[in-house]
């Protein structure tokens, strides 16, 4: 699972999470419930990260 700026595919569903619009493809929808999108600033850079559920890899 990852993030990209791209055109939507036919199998993607628009979802709004905390006011942010995202597209989720059908095969991964069962796995993204509980995923957190966060923006971090650290010494080596900054950007968005995905934090999975506790029982994810």
pLDDT of residue 21: 83
Number of residues in the chain: 57
| Strand 12-17 relative to strand 20-25, pairing | antiparallel
Residue 1 lies in a domain: no
Domain with 26, as residue range(s), is 12-51
Q: How confident is the model at residue 55 (pLDDT cuts 50, 70, 90)?
A: low
pLDDT at residue 46, as a whole number: 94
Pairwise CA distance, residues 48 & 44, whole Å: 13
Beta bridge partners of 46: 41
Predicted structure pTM score: 0.56
**Is the CB of residue 47 less than 8 Å from the CB of residue 20?**
no
Quote the number of domains for the chain.
1
Residue 40 lies in a domain: yes
Under 8 Å between Cβ of 21 and 29: no
- Mean of all residue pLDDT scores within the chain: 81
Both structure tokens of 21: 């619009």
């Amino acid at each position: 699972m990852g993030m990209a700026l791209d055109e939507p595919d036919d199998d993607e569903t628009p979802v709004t999470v905390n006011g942010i619009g995202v597209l989720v493809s059908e095969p991964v929808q069962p796995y993204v419930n509980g995923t957190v999108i966060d923006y971090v600033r650290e010494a080596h850079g900054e950007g968005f990260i995905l934090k999975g559920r506790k029982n994810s890899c």
